[in-house]
Amino acid sequence: MNTNGYAGVLKNEMHDFIKLRTSQGYKDTNRHVLTTFDKYLLSIDACAKEVTADIVDGWLSACCAGLKSRTVDGYITYYNAFAKYLHSIGVAAFIPERPMLDQDYVPYIFSKQELNDIFRIADSGETIKVELAKAQFPMLLRILYGCGLRLGEALALRLSDVDFTNGVLCIWNGKGRKDRLVPMDKTLTAILKMYCDAVLAGKSVDSYLFESDYNYGKRNCIGRPRPLAWAENHFHRILKAAGIQLKRPPASKRGICPHCLRHTFAVNSFRKQDLAGIDNYRNCPLLSVYLGHRKLKDTQKYLHMTAENSQDMLAITAGYSRGLFPEAPR
């Protein structure tokens, strides 16, 4: 029996695939990909249990136009898992190659002054109307920047995930279904302790650190974590109040967002090591594990230097290069 609403020629196979994935422990947050594929098969009146290259190309062209390259990659990755399942049960299905992700995204690295402005405005509450959010969002920002967490990881934190004794956050089922321990600076641990004592007093240990208080009609979100859009909207208001605005990016591109705090954390971490005389090649694996990366090359993407961030480095290297290059005539 099909319980997922699929109606195309592969409806039974899709239902069995989802059932198998569920039994294996997958959350399948991209399950909607199959819904779009099912609707496309219906739109072209597909009647044969076979997925050709033309069908896959047509589906991707129809459903992924204007989407970010990483989103398209997610569609293909999930479809490929389904296609491999079809192969295993004797149904022919074309498996496309995953595209090379565009590398033109350059994250915004916040300067020290900009970070000060962001936290000052967040603490003042001038851009936030709801009283609970006035306490939640400044704490969220401190965790994002102080620990370099992904936004989804921070919003998924529960009270039971915080070890106040050792100053450690437990990240469960992060990106790539990886668990990890994230140590905090003792000052951040102290601030988080005060926040939990004030905001989550008397709450269950299973309570989310950033619980929603939204309840309107059928949308009762009380007890659930704040959504990504909630954090992104508040962050954009603060950026506007701080005068940190770049040209609006195309719809398929990412602009300044909370994830830039993670990039800024990584850049500042490497700069701090450099200034302390620590070999970054030796410590890069440690930061890679801390950030929850699978490969070292994933960490390298975070090493973006801005003009302001590199002034001290330029001053150091200037001593070594003095007299090496002839002075150009004016």
Hey, where are the domains in the chain? 11-88, 112-300
Q: Reduced to 3 states, what is the DSSP secondary structure of residue 85?
A: helix
Who wins on pLDDT, 325 or 33? 33
| Mean pLDDT confidence for 19-38 | 87
Those residues with Cβ within 8 angstroms of residue 298's Cβ, 6 or more apart along the chain or in another chain: 288, 291
The whole-chain average pLDDT of the chain stands at 83
Predicted local distance difference test score (pLDDT) of residue 286 = 76
Who wins on pLDDT, 326 or 166? 166
Q: How sure is the predictor about 2, in pLDDT bands with cuts at 50, 70 and 90?
A: very low
Phi, psi (5° rounding) for residue 181? -105, 135
Measured CA to CA, the distance from residue 79 to residue 99 in angstroms comes to: 13
Q: What is the percent of the chain with per-residue pLDDT over 90, rounded to a whole number?
A: 48
| Mean pLDDT confidence for 9-20 | 93
| Mean pLDDT confidence for 1-27 | 83
User: With 90 as the cut, is the pLDDT of residue 253 above it?
Assistant: no
Give me 36's structure tokens: 């779009």
Predicted local distance difference test score (pLDDT) of residue 313 = 58
User: With 60 as the cut, is the pLDDT of residue 132 above it?
Assistant: yes
Give, as one character, the DSSP assignment of residue 219. E
CATH, domain range 112-300 = 1.10.443.10
User: With 60 as the cut, is the pLDDT of residue 251 above it?
Assistant: no
User: With 90 as the cut, is the pLDDT of residue 36 above it?
Assistant: yes
Exposed / middle / buried, residue 268 (Cβ in 10 Å: 0-12, 13-18, 19+) = middle
| Highest mean pLDDT: which range of 92-106, 221-235, 275-289 | 221-235
Are the C-beta atoms of residues 38 and 24 closer than 8 Å to each other?
no
| Mean pLDDT confidence for 18-23 | 90
Q: Which residue has the tokens 């969002």?
A: 137
Who wins on pLDDT, 103 or 237? 237
Those residues with Cβ within 8 angstroms of residue 160's Cβ, 6 or more apart along the chain or in another chain: 205, 206
Q: What is the percent of the chain with per-residue pLDDT over 70, rounded to a whole number?
A: 81
Predicted local distance difference test score (pLDDT) of residue 184 = 93
- The per-residue pLDDT for range 141-196, each reduced to its tens digit, is 999 999 999 999 999 999 999 999 999 999 988 776 788 999 999 999 999 999 99
- The per-residue pLDDT for range 43-74, each reduced to its tens digit, is 999 999 999 989 998 998 898 887 777 788 88
Q: How sure is the predictor about 289, in pLDDT bands with cuts at 50, 70 and 90?
A: confident
Measured CA to CA, the distance from residue 200 to residue 221 in angstroms comes to: 17
Phi, psi (5° rounding) for residue 182? -120, 105
Can you list the alpha helix ranges (DSSP code H) found in the chain? Answer: 11-23, 32-43, 53-63, 69-88, 112-124, 131-147, 151-155, 186-199, 228-242, 259-275, 280-291, 296-300, 311-321
Those residues with Cβ within 8 angstroms of residue 168's Cβ, 6 or more apart along the chain or in another chain: 162, 181, 182, 183, 184
Lowest mean pLDDT segment, chosen from 243-252, 267-276, 320-329: 320-329
Give the CA count within 13 Å in the CB-facing half-sphere of 96: 21
Look at residues 110, 204, 237, 210 and name the one whose alpha carbon lies nearest to residue 154.
210
